[in-house]
């Protein structure tokens, strides 16, 4: 399974002042998987994370709890949890301030709910 549950498209923001639209092949082979430090020429070379992984830690009628781990070289770099409200259609607690984490968490929640809801 893909880390975000589905193949997603988007704009690459690895170089902050030069957003770029990757082609479908690159999106599938690199952007949707993470760990491209050695294979993507746009990936930042500074000490930072390589990937974000998500997991459903709880689900009831109203709230989906999502745990995340930000990784560097397949090891934990940072972690946290989020709560997604079905009624509000968004995160209600611990909303991520990092734009990349926020977008990926929203994509993961959307993929999960698409599979879960009839």
| Burial class (CB within 10 angstroms; exposed 0-12, middle 13-18, buried 19+) of 52 | buried
* 30 occurs within a structural domain: no
The total of structural domains in the chain comes to: 1
* 34 occurs within a structural domain: no
* 7 occurs within a structural domain: no
Count of CB atoms within 10 A of residue 45's CB? 6
* 57 occurs within a structural domain: yes
Q: What is the pTM of this model?
A: 0.85
Task: Provide the domain limits for residue 101.
Answer: 48-116
* 5 occurs within a structural domain: no
Mean pLDDT of 10-19: 85
What is the tens place of the pLDDT at every residue in 42-96?
Answer: 888 777 888 899 999 999 989 999 999 999 888 998 999 999 999 999 998 777 7
Q: How far apart are the first and last CA of the chain?
A: 20
Nearest-10 Cα torsion for 64, 54, 48, 21? -90
Q: What pLDDT was estimated at residue 113?
A: 95
With pLDDT > 70 as the criterion, what percentage of the chain qualifies? Answer: 99
**How many residues are recorded in the chain?**
118
* 58 occurs within a structural domain: yes
């Amino acid at each position: 399974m893909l880390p975000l549950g589905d193949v997603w498209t988007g704009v690459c923001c690895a170089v902050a002042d030069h957003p770029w639209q990757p082609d479908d092949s690159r999106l599938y082979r690199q952007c949707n998987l993470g760990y491209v430090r050695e294979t993507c020429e746009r990936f930042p070379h500074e000490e930072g994370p390589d990937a974000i992984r998500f997991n459903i830690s709880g689900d009831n009628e109203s709230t989906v709890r999502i745990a995340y781990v930000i990784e560097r070289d397949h090891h934990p770099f940072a972690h946290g949890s989020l709560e997604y409200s079905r009624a509000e259609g968004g995160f209600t607690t611990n909303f991520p301030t990092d734009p990349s984490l926020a977008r990926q968490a929203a994509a993961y929640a959307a993929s999960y709910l698409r599979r879960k809801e009839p």
